[in-house]
Amino acid sequence: MRSDMKTIATQMRADIIEMLAAAGSGHPGGSLSACDILAVLYFDKMNIDPAHPDDPDRDRLVLAKGHAAPALYAALSQKGFIPHEDLITLRKSSSYLQGHPNMNITPGVEMSTGSLGQGLSVANGMALAGRLDKRDYYVYCIMGDGEIQEGQVWEAAMSASHYGLDHVIAFVDHNHLQIDGNNDQVMTVNPIEDKFRAFGWHVLTINGHDYEAISDAVEQAKATKGKPTLIVAETVKGKGISFMENEVGWHGVAPNAEQAARALAELKA
């Protein structure tokens, strides 16, 4: 699995760089850190089919950290929901690929996101609907670590546990950086694991760039009954591009032509 996932994730990272360079704006850091998680979910774990996008039994994914939309679009493109040639239209006024996901115009997008803190609540609602409809799909939610400073996340954490939503599998993309700096300097989110356990969740911590670890964690989550699972994925902001890694300045700045060429050369190598 490792070689297949690495190929997919590397192409996703290249697509992200090309999209953002063409747009001249966007968020590379948190998009690049989430690629390996999205690769495993879309190409190994999720029950989805671009030929049947409205299948009521499909799994759902809510990208709560909506500013990482380029990573989602890159995954959806490789999966067959979006033509690859359309990626370059990111953030253009006439494009259906806007800076944050829009479920009304973008194939494969399950929820419009971007207002941080709301995604887990939506995932809970989808899981409750599945229970009422007697369906067995899973709902995945990817949150940013800075995002969990939002109070609504903890209301959602409490309700997911109260209703025993074991078909909610949430990730925290823990790359330690947000727009204003290091998490611990802005407002510490630690200890993430202890907090979610106190709210009644099953919690796992993994290397968010290890494909087998991501896969195993999802399987453990599926085997856990009666409570939701949080997977704390330890990641590197800007992963895969040497001059972007662990640099907070790349949270929301697009690469110029020279930087994009350098990044693509690294990925190709």
Phi, psi for 172 (deg, rounded to 5): -110, 120
Q: What is the mean pLDDT of residues 91-114?
A: 97
Q: Tens digit of pLDDT for each residue in 9-31?
A: 999 999 999 999 999 999 999 99
Dist CA 59 CA 97 (whole Å): 22
Cβ atoms within 10 A of the Cβ of 78, count?
20
Dist CA 193 CA 12 (whole Å): 29
Q: What is the mean pLDDT of residues 209-226?
A: 98
* CA-based nearest residue to 263, from 14, 10, 97: 14
CATH number assigned to the domain comprising residue 91: 3.40.50.970
Can you tell me whether residue 129 is helix, strand or coil? helix
| pLDDT score at 152 | 98
Q: What is the mean pLDDT of residues 181-186?
A: 95
CB within 8 Å of 262: residues ≥ 6 apart:
243
Tell me: pLDDT of 48 over 90: yes
Find where tokens 């369906």 sit: 135
Q: What is the mean pLDDT of residues 62-74?
A: 98
Task: Kindly tell me the sign of the dihedral angle through the C-alpha atoms of 154, 127, 215, 80.
Answer: negative
Q: Tens digit of pLDDT for each residue in 137-168?
A: 999 999 999 999 999 999 999 999 999 999 99
Q: Give me the number of domains the chain comprises.
A: 1
| pLDDT score at 93 | 94
| pLDDT score at 102 | 98
Percent of the chain with pLDDT over 70: 100
**Burial state string for 190-210 with b = 16 or more CB within 10 A and e = fewer than 16:** eebeebbeebebbbbbbebbb
Q: What is the mean pLDDT of residues 221-229?
A: 98
How big is the chain, counted in residues?
Answer: 269
**What's the N-to-C CA distance of the chain in angstroms?**
20
Q: What is the mean pLDDT of residues 238-259?
A: 98
Phi, psi for 79 (deg, rounded to 5): -80, -20
| pLDDT score at 3 | 77
Q: Which domain holds residue 172?
A: 2-268
Tell me: pLDDT of 183 over 90: yes
| pLDDT score at 2 | 72
Cα of 267 vs its chain's centroid, Å: 20
Q: What is the mean pLDDT of residues 228-237?
A: 98
Q: What integer best gives the mean pLDDT of the chain? A: 97
Bridge partners (DSSP) listed for residue 141: 62, 170
Cβ atoms within 10 A of the Cβ of 250, count?
23
| pLDDT score at 88 | 98
Dist CA 250 CA 17 (whole Å): 12
The answer to whether the pTM exceeds 0.95 is yes
Dist CA 241 CA 25 (whole Å): 17
Can you tell me whether residue 112 is helix, strand or coil? coil
Beta strands in 100-238, from DSSP E residues, in sequence order: 139-144, 168-174, 177-178, 181-182, 202-207, 229-234
DSSP letter (8 states) at residue 180: T
Phi, psi for 137 (deg, rounded to 5): -75, 160
